[in-house]
Structure 1
């Protein structure tokens, strides 16, 4: 990490409560959480918004995480690529997660998921190029306006988070790094 942040032993108040929740659920405090404490007043609102988007995601947790992996690849963000590859591997299996990372269009996903990920990818690459025709194509595969708004929120928020993590030097924790050094290198899309 490039910045000085609040260590778990130093945490007080709201930061300590957030750290304690993460310690209880994960056994440690992730750099993705700790890095916000260079501005401790920002940690709680960011955490709240992340949980609100993820927990209320109209297409379910799996699709939220698929969007996150694809967006992270194109930001590019090594941190989020490592973390979400590992998380998705636990949900859909390592081989399918690797297929999604390499080319989601040929990873055995549904047509709706492919359209969802193409939209998330375009948001990450250049959202200014999205047109009414793109939205109509999403509706044609059965996505509602709520779904489309959720995809845009998830991809856009991931762009924000991933860019911040890289800007302050957050590094993926060892437990998120794949055991295969070639896969690990492939996921290190941001040069870390």
Structure 2
């Protein structure tokens, strides 16, 4: 980490409670969480916003994670690619998660998921180029305006989060790194 953050043994109040809950759930306090503690006034609102977007995501947790994983590849964020490869592998299987990284359009996803991910990638690459025709394409595969807004929120939030993690030097925890060196290299889309 490039900046000073609150360590687990230094944490008090709400930060201590957040750290304690994450350590219990994950076995550690992730650098992705810890890096926000440099601004103790925003760590809880940021975590709450993530929970609200993810837990209320109208297309379900799998699609939230698909968006996060695909967007992380374009940001590019090695940290988020490694972490979300692990979570998608547990949900879909390792082979399909690898196929999604290589080419989500030909990875056995539904047509709706492919269009959803194409939109998320557009947001990451250049949201100013999105047109009404792009939105109509999403509606044509059955996405509602709430779904479209949720995809935009998830993609935009991942851009914000991933760019912040890199800007302050968060590094992926060893537990999230794949055992296969080739897969590690594939997920190392940004900082090595």
Shared fold, TM over 0.5 = yes
Which residue of structure 1 lines up, in the alignment, with residue 175 of structure 2? Answer: 175
Q: CA deviation at 1:97?
A: 0.3
Task: Tell me the equivalent position of 1:33.
Answer: 33
Counterpart check, 1:127 vs 2:127: yes
Structure 1, unpaired ranges of 5+: none
1:66-145 superposed matches below 5 A? 66-145=66-145
Report the Cα offset of residue 179 of structure 1. Answer: 0.6
Rounded Cα–Cα distance in structure 2 between residues aligned with 1:99 and 1:158:
21
Moved over 2 A (4+): none
- 1:3 and 1:182 map into 2 onto residues whose CA distance is 30
Q: Deviations over 1:96-143 (max 9, x none)?
A: 001111110010000000000000000000000000000000000000
The TM-score normalised by the length of structure 2 is 0.99
State the SS of the aligned residue for 1:82: helix
The worse-fitting range, judged by mean Cα deviation, of 142-151 and 22-31 is: 22-31
- In structure 2, list runs of 5 or more residues that go unmatched: none
Measured against aligned partners, the alpha-carbon deviations of 1:166-187 in whole angstroms (never above 9, x if no partner) come to 0001011011001110110111
Structure 1 distance, partners of 2:2, 2:180, is 27
Q: What CA distance in whole angstroms lies between the structure 2 residues aligned with 1:40 and 1:191?
A: 26
Tell me how far apart the structure 2 counterparts of residues 67 and 115 of structure 1 sit (CA, whole Å): 11
Paired residue for 2:53? 53
Distance in 2 (CA, whole Å) between partners of 1:191 and 1:84 is 16
Structure 1 length-normalised TM: 0.99
Using the TM superposition, give the Cα deviation of residue 191 of structure 1 relative to its aligned residue in structure 2, in angstroms: 2.8
Question: Matched residues in 2 for 1:75 and 1:97: separation?
Answer: 18
Equivalent pairs, count: 192
